[in-house]
Amino acid sequence: MNYLRLFLLPFSLIFLLIVLVRNKLYDWKIIKQVKLNVPVVSIGNIKTGGTGKTPFTIFLAEFLLKRNLKVAIVSGGYKKENVDEIYFITGKEQSPAIKNLGDEPFLIFTRLKNISDNFILASGGKKYSTSKITSEKYKPDVIIIDDGFQHRDLFRDIDIVLIEHPQTLQDKILLPAGNLRETSSGLKRASIVIRNNKSQIIETNDLISIKYINKGYFDLSGAQVQLDNAVYTLCGIANPHSFYSLINTDKLNILRKFEFPDHHIFKEEELEKLFTGIDKEKVIVTTEKDFVKLQCMKELFKKYRIVCLKIDVQFKKGKDIFENRIKEIIL
Predicted confidence (pLDDT) at residue 190 exceeds the cutoff of 90:
yes
Pairing label, strands 305-317, 208-218: antiparallel
Predicted confidence (pLDDT) at residue 35 exceeds the cutoff of 70:
yes
According to the model, what pLDDT value does residue 1 have?
56
CA angle centred on 152, ends 147 and 153, rounded to 5°: 120
The Cα 10–Cα 169 span in angstroms is: 16
According to the model, what pLDDT value does residue 200 have?
46
According to the model, what pLDDT value does residue 206 have?
52
According to the model, what pLDDT value does residue 204 have?
47
According to the model, what pLDDT value does residue 238 have?
87
Q: Which helix (H) or strand (E) holds 3?
A: helix 3-7
Pairing label, strands 158-163, 71-75: unpaired
Distances (CA, A) of 268 to 102, 298, 306: 18, 10, 13
Fill in the amino acid letter for 329: I
The Cα 78–Cα 71 span in angstroms is: 21
Contact 204, 190 (CB under 8 A): yes
Q: What is the average per-residue pLDDT within 316-326?
A: 94
31/50: higher pLDDT:
31
- pLDDT one-digit tens code per residue, 133-162: 999 999 999 999 999 999 999 999 999 999
According to the model, what pLDDT value does residue 189 have?
96
- pLDDT one-digit tens code per residue, 252-266: 999 999 999 999 999
| 278: DSSP letter | S
What is the residue-averaged pLDDT of the chain?
Answer: 92
Split at pLDDT 50, 70, 90, the class of 199 is: very low
| Residue 195 half-sphere exposure toward CB, CA atoms < 13 A | 18
Q: Which of 120-129, 164-173, 256-265 has the lowest mean pLDDT?
A: 164-173
Domains and CATH numbers, the chain: 3-205 (3.40.50), 213-313 (3.40.50)
Split at pLDDT 50, 70, 90, the class of 132 is: very high
Q: Which of 1-10, 128-137, 201-210, 313-322 has the lowest mean pLDDT?
A: 201-210
According to the model, what pLDDT value does residue 161 have?
96
According to the model, what pLDDT value does residue 58 have?
97
- Quickly list DSSP for 98-166: HHHH-HHHHHHHHHHHTT-S-EEEEESS-HHHHHHHHHHHH--SEEEEET-TT-TTB--SEEEEEE---
Split at pLDDT 50, 70, 90, the class of 201 is: very low
